[in-house]
Amino acid sequence: MTLLEAVAKRHTVKAFDDSRSLPDAQIETLLNVLRNTPSSVNSQPWHFVVASTPEGREAIARATAGAFIYNQPKVLHASHVIALCMRADLDESHLQTVLEQEEKDGRFRDAAAKAGQDKSRRGYVDMHRYVQRDLPQWMEKQVYLALGGLLLSAALLDIDATPMEGFDTAVLDEALGLREKGLTSVVLVSLGYRSEQDFNAALPKSRLPQEDIFTFI
């Protein structure tokens, strides 16, 4: 499947076939996509909770009760559900962990290069914390970069997907024990194979025309 074919074919699935599961190899590919997602100054302010069992999906589904009940079947009937989470803060421990991993992976030619990377990253963190005062929003943007890569990769693998913001973050954070780990949930993605009840599969894709959304200079 070509890239253009994949983006033309993909759609937000409204109903999953719960009798089919995704192959482990494909899930591993998608997890590698998430792990290798780019982030601003390589801050990697995320964590991903992968539900591949009925118990895991049921835990996530607790957050889709009440006003979000329409999303519950998309969680319970999918093959896998991934909760994309962000850190509550880019604290000293995380900054040091990232820096030491970069050194372990051979990113620095010498101590000066390591110090320079550390200073640059901290400069951006401090700018968003103290000047622009939008550190949570900045971290959330990085998580949405991961979401975009995940959805495109799933489409290229012919995997059906549904991104969801329709859930109770407080309930999900409690169900997954996220806040005790310094995390909070941002967005869900259900993955699997669509069922015949997926009405959205038969609808044409609708996007604004090219002349309305591109300016060439």
Alpha helices in 22-71 (DSSP H): 24-35, 54-61
Going by C-beta distance under 8 Å and a sequence separation of 6 or more, which residues neighbour residue 34? 48, 82, 146, 149, 150
> For residue range 105-115, what is the model confidence (pLDDT) as tens digits?
999 999 999 99
Please enumerate in sequence order all residues whose Cβ is within 8 A of that of 112, keeping only pairs 6 or more positions apart, or say none. Answer: none
**Catalytic entry in 5, 28, 100, 165:** 165
Q: How far apart are CA 59 and CA 81, in angstroms?
A: 11
- Cβ–Cβ < 8 Å for 205, 11: yes
- Whole-prediction pTM value? 0.96
Strands (E), 13-92: 46-51, 80-87
pLDDT digits over 166-210, tens only?
A: 999 999 999 999 999 999 999 999 999 999 999 999 999 999 999
Which residue is catalytic, options 14, 103, 114, 140?
Answer: 14
Reported confidence tier of residue 29, pLDDT bands at 50, 70, 90: very high
Burial (CB count <10 Å: 0-12, 13-18, 19+), residue 169: middle
- 14 part of the active site: yes
| % the chain with pLDDT above 70 | 100
28 is catalytic: no
- Tens of pLDDT, residue by residue over 73-127, are 999 999 999 999 999 999 999 999 999 999 999 999 999 999 999 999 999 999 9
* Residue 74: active-site member: yes
pLDDT of residue 1: 87
